[in-house]
Amino acid sequence: MDSAAAQSAAPSVLDLSPVIPVVVIEDAADAVPLARALVAGGLPAIEVTLRTPAALDAVRAIAAEVPEAVVGAGTVITPEHVAAAVAAGARFLVSPGWTDGLLEAMRASGLPFLPGVSTVSEVLALLERGVGEMKFFPAEAAGGVPYLRSIGGPLPQARFCPTGGIGLDSAPGYLGLANVGCVGGTWMLPPDALAARDWARVESLAREAAGLRP
């Protein structure tokens, strides 16, 4: 399956919800109640980053016990990460960047994927390879809304999920751009709420985020 086919084989990750929560899970036991809170709040696409030892178990638990969630693996940076994420039941893949080897592994997985970019040259290289949906990272540090607006003219065929430094106040500016399908963020997952396992608060913040589409 080529890149374009892989990205068109399933509904676009960019269109599942206006915001994709970017989740760092330290304890896999929190994965299911956290995912249920996010889904109840209207955010079905959940990116679990592969930054902790519990991440793959968390993906596996969400995939098995929260079928209404579309769980993906983030911080995918090696072909081995791709294989492990697929085995755990991930339904999409997200990387902060890409290499030819990583791109080939993501393409071969058959899952929708969002390789990361932060420059026009990286976007062009992906477009050459048939990939039109990407993560823009780190969004705020790499130029934010003005940057994405600027490249939308010459490269209208590229669509993005900006992630990195985006909050409740800045998200609407991104979502108002024609070349942005959704944004990634963590603001609906405040550390104190997670530490207290305050899933009702997470659900409330998720609902607020889900209503951001202009």
Q: What is the DSSP string of 116-132?
A: EE-SHHHHHHHHHTT--
Q: Which of 80, 104, 135, 203 is catalytic?
A: 135
Element (H, E) at 85: helix 79-88
Q: Tokens 């709420």, residue?
A: 193
Element (H, E) at 185: strand 183-185
User: Quick one: which of 114, 29, 39, 112 has its CA closest to 69?
Assistant: 39
135 is a catalytic site residue:
yes
Q: Tokens 């294989």, residue?
A: 83
CA angle 39, 179, 38 (to 5 degrees): 10
Q: Are 52 and 19 in contact (CB under 8 A)?
A: no
DSSP summary character for residue 14: G
Look at the alpha carbons of 123, 146, 45, 81 in this order and tell me if their dihedral is positive or negative: positive
User: Quick one: which of 70, 40, 72, 38 has its CA closest to 55?
Assistant: 72
What 3-state class would DSSP assign to 113? Answer: strand
Q: Which of 47, 65, 128, 208 is catalytic?
A: 47
104 is a catalytic site residue:
no
Catalytic residue numbers, as ranges? 47, 135
